[in-house]
Structure 1
Amino acid sequence: MTSTTTAPVDPWAPATRTPRDAEQLRRPSESFARRAITGFLRRPSAVTGVVVVIIMALFALIGPALSPYSYDEQNLDHVSLPPVMQATDVDGRFFVATQNLTLVELDGGGHLVGTFGGGEDDPVAKRMTFDVGGGEELTINYRVKPPTLMQDGKTISNSTTMWNTDHVLGTDGLGRDMLTRLMFGLRISLLIALIAMAVNLVIGVIYGGISGYIGGNVDAVMMRVVDIVSTIPLILYVVLIQVLMAGSSGFLSIVIALSTVYWVDMARVVRGQVLTIRQREFVAAAKIMGTSDARILGQHIIPHVTGSIVVTATMLIPSAIFIEAFMSFIGLGVAPPMASLGTMSNDALATLRSAPFQLFIPAGAICILMFAFNFIGDGLRDALDPRQNR
């Protein structure tokens, strides 16, 4: 019996591959920007945030031009009308009692067709009687909350739910259209967000970049200035600015206050990144070649911290929106009658129990706007993180 032996395969022999294998191994090069965009689009929450911000921006910029009302137009006959009303059906006519005890008539589509005021008041029985024409009289019983309608001494129970077609989001305590005021309030908030981002990008990046690049005693002094600025409350800045600029608008005071102190967080982030990057070899090579410090900082170092800058700026936008709303809420922001999400929330406190929608609408807009920007910031943080792209 003969045995055959097979020579072992040389483990050091070069690998062979067919053209098909080479085609499968080939992978197109992908830039960092393309990887970042792809990573961002893979996060549904971040994409949803972008869509929401775009919709709200268009709503705030284009909406007021399409609205038949202005932000300060008052109609005391239509006070605190809700978006959805319980209309009382009286022989095919629909009536709603308002908060200031007037009687509003609606048509079948929810449009306001008439207002009856100057009724005969009976303060003892807490009833007000109106002549609605055709020999008919209706009585508002405001002893109960909400007020009910009565006819011939009997409460009318035949009611129907109707959407307020003329005022889609209702009216406030002065009869102003809530939808129009919400548009202007969002415009103020988005403008504040844009200004805050611009201030962060200009002052914060330049200040933090110079501090981190120079280092030493200059860095120590510049950072102590940042510490001093960040310890003073923003409310104090706004009050001082309003005192110094007597007669100026509250919006201008908030803008100046944000421009004065809001860049400190960005400066800290940029300074920390620059302190790390300035030790790398390509910075030393640029210095050896005689490149100026300004050119090294602007064209070599700052581009490497773009991801941190974008993420920080996006994360600070919701904080700026909340600061503006809070300042307006306590009376240090936008002055009436200009609409702001903060002033709308403050105005709604007087009618919180009888008309809670007046508070829920601006507060809901603030929450949606802040969530949208936070989702965008989270998406940018993950997309621009090199560890996520390995």
Structure 2
Amino acid sequence: MWEKLPQDEAVAVKSAPSLTYWQDARRRLWANKPAVVSIGFIILLILGAIFGPFFSPYSYSDQNLKLANIPPAFDTYAVTDGEGNTTRFFLNASNFNLYEVDASGHVLGIMRGERKDMLKKQQPFEIAGQAITLDYAKLPARILSADGTELRTSGWSWNMTYLFGTDQLGRDVLVRQLFGARISLTVAFVATLVNFFIGIFYGGIAGYMGGKTDAIMMRIVEIISTVPLTLYVVLLMVVFDSGLLSIIIAIGSVFWVDMARIVRGQILSLKQQDYVAAARTMGASTPRILTRHLLPNAIGPIIITLTMLIPSAIFIESFMSFIGLGVTPPLASWGTLTSEAVETLRAYPHQLFFPAAAISLTMFAFNFLGDGLRDALDPRFRK
């Protein structure tokens, strides 16, 4: 039975706060943990690529052949003389060299021993007043004391001089990684600008105009998309020198076609809406309808597509540099670092691990960010 509430009893009414479309999208994006982690990784990558090399005492082209192929971590040995002074060193089992290090893990230099015995595959050293022998007759190589017993290692130490180790020419892998990030992110930034200014407006005009204009413009897109990118880069190298400029021109001139198709599809569905007919009735010009009404309402799919195309541009640049069609030495990119490291994969796997991990993590980050933006900008997921 229904009864009227007394006047002195207050009725509490709870209502959700009113949020705009972009406020709700931001709330849902921040609730997506993989997307938030990806945003943090991308920001750190950009900051590291821009400012990281300034904090390193080495440049991407500095060479020190005496410290070539040093790993990022090593198992150290410790030998103490009669006065209590300890000399620390590690064995690079891939090139059979000994390197002196301090207690903190800084590499002091290569240790010179006596003449190698090529028959016995041994090399004697005098370290801290003691006779030490490097025996590489059987792998893995061993460090033998004067009485023939094998020395025990004192523990692993991180390479504090070269955090990511060195390559075959003694160059700092970390600095070259950061310079490679600069090139890859530059290519991605150029691809984003081209997609925004060419792909969006090209697809928007084709979708809004329709008819023969749309047919002609989309046939041009199909012709461009049928040309293999590798062949296109080779043709550009005939005109331009091999390098970053050829990659930027190649990606910038053909990478916008996917964006144009997506924007065209969005505009074809949006131009039938009532607000477009009202704007046309009030005398709005075609550029105004396109820029003020249609493209802003298609901004969600545009942003998602941009974030998905950025890792594709990074991968294309890395692949072109890997096969020798990208940047030229001494410049470094993730593709050239990978190409150089493949030659010494068995002996020095760390040289391949870091550029491959950088490419993989960057592509994962942009893909997770794209998935998060798709969920955040889709009105169907709004609660």
Q: TM-score, normalised by structure 1?
A: 0.90
What residue in structure 1 maps to residue 33 of structure 2? 44
Q: Retained in 1: the 8 A contact 2:66–2:109?
A: no
Q: 1:26 to 1:350 in 2, by over 3 A?
A: closer
What residue in structure 2 maps to residue 222 of structure 1? 217
How far off is 1:19 after superposition?
Answer: 9.6
Q: Retained in 1: the 8 A contact 2:259–2:302?
A: yes
Measured against aligned partners, the alpha-carbon deviations of 1:278-323 in whole angstroms (never above 9, x if no partner) come to: 1111111111111111111111110010001000000111111111
Q: 1:131 to 1:76 in 2, by over 3 A?
A: farther
What residue in structure 2 maps to residue 163 of structure 1? 158
Considering only CA atoms, is the larger Rg found in Structure 1 or Structure 2? 1
Residue correspondence of structure 1 range 33-112 to structure 2 within 5 A: 33-91=22-80, 92-98=86-92, 99-112=94-107
How far off is 1:125 after superposition?
Answer: 2.2
Q: 1:185 to 1:208 in 2, by over 3 A?
A: same
What residue in structure 2 maps to residue 140 of structure 1? 134
Amino acid at match of 2:325: L
How far off is 1:141 after superposition?
Answer: 2.8
Report the 3-state secondary structure (helix = DSSP H, G, I; strand = E; otherwise coil) of the residue aligned with 1:139.
Answer: strand
Residue correspondence of structure 1 range 104-253 to structure 2 within 5 A: 104-117=99-112, 119-132=114-127, 134=129, 136-152=130-146, 154=148, 156-160=150-154, 161-246=156-241, 249-253=242-246
Measured against aligned partners, the alpha-carbon deviations of 1:310-349 in whole angstroms (never above 9, x if no partner) come to: 0000011111111111111111111112121111111111
Q: Retained in 1: the 8 A contact 2:75–2:91?
A: no
Greater shift after overlay, 370-379 or 249-258? 249-258
Greater shift after overlay, 94-103 or 275-284? 94-103
Q: 1:149 to 1:33 in 2, by over 3 A?
A: same
Q: TM-score, normalised by structure 2?
A: 0.92
Measured against aligned partners, the alpha-carbon deviations of 1:94-138 in whole angstroms (never above 9, x if no partner) come to: 22233444321111221122322474122222223345474x443
Q: Retained in 2: the 8 A contact 1:104–1:115?
A: yes
Q: Retained in 2: the 8 A contact 1:116–1:132?
A: no
Q: 1:274 to 1:338 in 2, by over 3 A?
A: same
Gaps of at least 5 residues in structure 1 are: 1-7
Amino acid at match of 2:151: S
Report the 3-state secondary structure (helix = DSSP H, G, I; strand = E; otherwise coil) of the residue aligned with 1:140.
Answer: strand
Q: 1:335 to 1:19 in 2, by over 3 A?
A: farther
What residue in structure 2 maps to residue 280 of structure 1? 273
What residue in structure 2 maps to residue 262 of structure 1? 255
What is the percentage of aligned positions where both structures have the same residue? Answer: 47
Q: Number of paired residues? A: 376
Measured against aligned partners, the alpha-carbon deviations of 1:166-209 in whole angstroms (never above 9, x if no partner) come to: 11111112111111111111121222211111111111001100
Q: Retained in 1: the 8 A contact 2:184–2:334?
A: yes
Measured against aligned partners, the alpha-carbon deviations of 1:60-112 in whole angstroms (never above 9, x if no partner) come to: 11110001111111111112111110122222322223344432111122112
Q: Retained in 2: the 8 A contact 1:266–1:312?
A: yes
What residue in structure 1 maps to residue 298 of structure 2? 305
CA–CA separation in structure 2 for the residues paired with 1:193 and 1:228: 23
Q: 1:144 to 1:77 in 2, by over 3 A?
A: farther
How far off is 1:26 after superposition?
Answer: 5.0
CA–CA separation in structure 2 for the residues paired with 1:257 and 1:312: 19
Report the 3-state secondary structure (helix = DSSP H, G, I; strand = E; otherwise coil) of the residue aligned with 2:298.
Answer: helix
How far off is 1:238 after superposition?
Answer: 1.2
CA–CA separation in structure 2 for the residues paired with 1:62 and 1:208: 37
- Give the RMSD, CA atoms, in angstroms: 2.4
- Choose from 358, 361, 371 the match for 1:378: 371
Q: Retained in 2: the 8 A contact 1:186–1:341?
A: yes
